[in-house]
Amino acid sequence: MAPMGIRLSPLGVAVFCLLGVGVLYHLYSGVLSNRLAAFRQKRNVDLRDLLALSVEAAVLGGKEVKQVREENGLQEKSKGKTKEGANDPLTMGDLMSHRKMYNIIKNTFPDITVNSEEHDNVVDKSLSWSRIIPGEIAEKVKDQSEVPAESVTVWIDPLDATQEYTENLLKYVTTMVCVAVDGKPVIGVIHQPFNDFTVIISRSHSGQVINYVHKAFGNSSDTVQAGGAGYKVLSLLDLPAENYQLKRLWTRLIFMFISPT
């Protein structure tokens, strides 16, 4: 209530309020616009960094795969049947590897899309990339190459050849990372957590392929059964056993870096 003898003009009050709003807008508009600009700004990803991270993620997942197998803690379940009718198993090795690989990539580059062969809701914000560029990568990929984060899609397979994993056929087991920019593959990493080729075929898809090979080349033709896409790619290298260091490097890095342009 106004003091005795003083009357407040509704128009004056309205003008005063408008002036107040104007002052506040002037003070905070700059801050808000800067924040909006930062939010709208496209974030970039350096592909050399992403390559190094992919290697670290594959190795980290491989450690989980190996530990679960050595401790015999598979806790095997079935995800159902493949379209060929084979069992599609799921183990704790798959899940533990997925959690490490997915979270370390997503924590480092939250704006990129990460798809995994497995699915799990466990979030681990404590995982972080070491930011170390391995010497092999630094030597072969000297220049940085940045791309928009929203153009990057990463696929991970936390445990390839799970069926062989459950059967203790560990030479077939790999962890894999594939990176695409605008749908074009640019980086691929295959890691063997447990450290050979005429025709490479899948253990679960062998029937029709063997029949075709024998029909084309005769029953004497040699076939090599191999489980897991990662193992098949590694087998193609056919590196001599004496060149162990080179084989070890290529076991960790396949398709080290392909320019997205």
Rounded to a whole number of angstroms, the CA Rg of the chain reads: 28
Give yes or no for a contact between 159 and 175, defined as CB atoms under 8 angstroms apart: yes
Question: Which residue is listed with tokens 């800067």?
Answer: 34
Q: Is position 222 annotated in a ligand binding site?
A: no
Q: How far apart are CA 117 and CA 261, in angstroms?
A: 28
Rounded to 5°, angle at Cα 110 from 114 and 51: 65
What SS3 state is found at 130? coil
What distance lies between CA 110 and its chain's CA centroid? 12
Q: How far apart are CA 230 and CA 233, in angstroms?
A: 5
Q: How far apart are CA 52 and CA 138, in angstroms?
A: 9
Q: How far apart are CA 147 and CA 128, in angstroms?
A: 21
Q: How far apart are CA 205 and CA 222, in angstroms?
A: 16
Q: Is position 159 annotated in a ligand binding site?
A: yes
Q: How far apart are CA 44 and CA 183, in angstroms?
A: 16
Give yes or no for a contact between 189 and 55, defined as CB atoms under 8 angstroms apart: yes
Ramachandran angles phi, psi of 258, nearest 5°: -120, 125
Cβ count within 10 A of residue 118: 20
DSSP structural state of residue 36 = H
Residues making up the binding site for Mg(2+): 117, 157, 159-160
- Binding residues are 117, 157, 159-160
